[in-house]
Amino acid sequence: MTDQQHDDESMEFIGKEENHRGLAISRQHLPKRMYLLPISNRPFFPAQVQPVVVNQNPWSETIQKVGESNHHVLGLCFVDSEEEHPAPDSDDLEVMGCAVRIHNHQQEGGKIQFIAQGLRRFRITKWLQHSPPYLVEVTYPDEPEEEADELKAYTLAIISAIKDLLRTNPLYGEEVKQYLSRFGPDDSSPLADFGASMTSAAGRELQDVINTVPLLRRMEKVLLLMRKEQEVARLQAEINDEVNTKVQKHQRDFFLREQLKVIQRELGMAKDDKTADVERFNDRMAALSPPEHVQERFDEEVRKLSVLEQGSPEYGVTRNYLDWLTQVPWGQYSEDHFDLSSARQVLDRDHDGLEDVKDRIIEFLAEGAYRGEVSGSIILLVGPPGVGKTSIGRSVADALGRTFYRFSLGGMRDEAEIKGHRRTYIGAMPGKLVQALKDSKVSNPVIMLDEIDKIGASFQGDPASALLETLDPEQNRDFLDHYLDVRTDLSKVLFICTANQLDTIPRPLLDRMDIIRLSGYIAEEKQVIAKHHLLPRLLKRSGLLKKQLNITDAAIRQIIDGYAREAGVRNLEKQLHKVVRKGIVKLLQQPDTPVKVGVGDVQDYLGQPTFRKEKSLKGIGVVTGLAWTAMGGATLSIEASRIHASQRGFKLTGQLGDVMRESAEIAYSYIASNLKRYKGDPGFFDKSFVHLHVPEGATPKDGPSAGVTMATALLSIARKESPQPGIAMTGELTLTGQVLPVGGIREKVIAARRQKLNTLVLPEANRGDFEELPDYLREGIEVHFAKHFSDVSSICFGHKPRGGTRVH
């Protein structure tokens, strides 16, 4: 027996006579057994006619069997699952579903498509087959009779809701036409199902409508869903109206502006963008005094701009070039002020101390005053951090009445930062020097090149080499920036460079500069700077009056000695700022009580001192040397000790560099070979293992200036005699005992004064360097100059000093 025969014999028919707007359909026969097809997203309603698409596998057999039947009726059941299953379990399908008649089923591309015409609700009573094709027994629940008036009221309410939805979303119109072709407006049950199908409610809410058979209860639920849909549609319409209003306003403004441009152009009241650009550039250049070659290039580029289309990329490049070319202050110079007394007042106003530096700057300005111009000069200010290099450059600009422009070279690795990029590159710009001229609006500003000793190099070029042309007075009158590509005169610019050390500056670059050294400040100078500059500035920055917070002179001196011994004053300002902050806290707690900070209060404000009062190391084998660092001068104790007498040996510690190790070996060789001359045991080193140590082993040390200090320490242990106390020394030693000159005399003298070491031994060749020092640095210091180590020995071990002078 075939499946078709089985279906026909097992069917019971249920009929119902229906009229749809005059079109009579005789009787619909609905089967008691039917095949099921699960659908997701949303359930199907009896009032719907809609295409349905399912996968060919595993539902092709189900569609085939339905198509071979006489009734072509299929059951659609909702599956409430976000995940797609090829064949869900029978337990996942809803008990209530919709019987549909399928039309025009087609297979293509692994999919089956058919038109589903909703017929009636059904309820599954028995599962006959639990795997595809699903086969079940069903019943068709009848709707109970409802009160006519109440039913009519709900019907009218649903019709009104459908009309509202049609007004807000015209896309529903086709569905309404389809419905009216099959049912009349008085068919309440199909109307309720159709209203539910029009909403965008969730699948579970719509399934609840399918499950509700009593018509009034179903219409209540449908009406609630439609009210929600109306609210969503209303909000959507408001959003669309708001967006459309904004878009229309922008379009209207755009069209009006374009029309206004055309009208103004026709009346001669306005010009297009290109004409406006050309006129603006011509007006700018007319106000300048460019050289002839610059004017020629400008005219050429303006002609090119006039024939280019505004949408062309070349137009933007040419326009940007002309914008830069016309902002360089060609021929614009500020007038220099050569009043030396006024210049001295500016320097004294901004800086305390540094008298020798101020004198050197006044000499420089005097030379310019005599010539009538300050040009062709490059000043290099060298000194430790925080000694006022940058502020001195600013003071020079103020004294001359020139514009000041500063940029840092620290870490610069691309020569294009100096000489600019070529115009062919995207985002090309001129170099920093052309930008400085543009920002200062004159061709003779004071340009400070900060941190020139920290300039770098990379595969993009060497900026230090690019500076050779910039800082050469013979070449910078024809400086060529790659972007502008026209010769620019930088000879009127006063360049002031700053550096912490000279070692990293290329020698050809250094030769082009006039070096002025700033060695640092002694404690007395720091105290004056703190009173006159640092503390008033901090009080002003914090909004305090001097009477509200007072730091005594003794407290400032305590801060300098215990917390800020560096050559500069930057750390001193930080410590004072810390005191001011804590003073503000006290003022907020007790507003009417002024804060006074004395010596005894310093430790409460700043904690334990960073630097404690050092006792001069003394004893056999201990000698104090003087050293130079990038932070200024420093004292350095050197210790030598005999470890044992079993064998000869020499050991060095203290993280010494190669040069310092060589100095130690020279000192050891010289003392060992000349012990008899210096009243020591000639065989002392033959049987002694000697250890030479430079304290603060974590700090790297290098340089030749500790040679005489090391030799003195070795001679001390060989003679078993302590050197004279309170002596500090520096000098390079040779194998023949000659004492050679060293650098950094000023910094070393300042370091000795800081440690209250008043007797110094310096190389004879450095006598001139010492005598050039200001009187306030030499005052109270007894200095001995040594040509040979024998001079050092006679000073340190109690002999009458030879060639010693005392400065009063």
From the candidates 440, 705, 716, 793, give the one annotated as an active-site residue.
705
* 450: amino acid identity, one letter: D
In whole angstroms, give the CA distance from residue 725 to residue 738.
24
Q: Quick one: tokens of 579?
A: 């005191």
**Residue 511 CB: number of other CB atoms within 10 A?**
11
The question of whether 443 is a catalytic residue gets the answer no
- Which residues 6+ apart lie within 8 Å of 592 measured at CB? none
DSSP 310: T
C-alpha triplet 36, 41, 46: angle, nearest 5°: 55
Q: Do you find a cis peptide bond into 695, omega within 30 degrees of 0? A: no
From the candidates 375, 748, 793, 794, give the one annotated as an active-site residue.
748
In whole angstroms, give the CA distance from residue 702 to residue 801.
29
Instruction: Decide: 701 and 658 in contact? Cβ < 8 Å.
Output: no
The 3-class SS string of 227-250 reads HHHHHHHHHHHHHHHHHHHHHHHH
Q: Quick one: tokens of 682?
A: 């000639």
Phi and psi at 788, nearest 5°, equal -130, 160
Closest CA to 435 of 494, 483, 496: 483
Instruction: Decide: 86 and 40 in contact? Cβ < 8 Å.
Output: no
Residue recorded with tokens 């590509």: 485
The question of whether 705 is a catalytic residue gets the answer yes
In DSSP notation, 382-410 reads E--TTSSHHHHHHHHHHHHT--EEEEE-T
**Residue 278 CB: number of other CB atoms within 10 A?**
17
In whole angstroms, give the CA distance from residue 161 to residue 615.
100
Partners of residue 405 on adjacent β-strands: 447
* 341: amino acid identity, one letter: S
Using a 10 angstrom Cβ sphere, with 0-12 exposed, 13-18 middle and 19 or more buried, the burial of residue 259 is: exposed
Instruction: Decide: 693 and 639 in contact? Cβ < 8 Å.
Output: yes
- Give catalytic residue positions: 705, 748
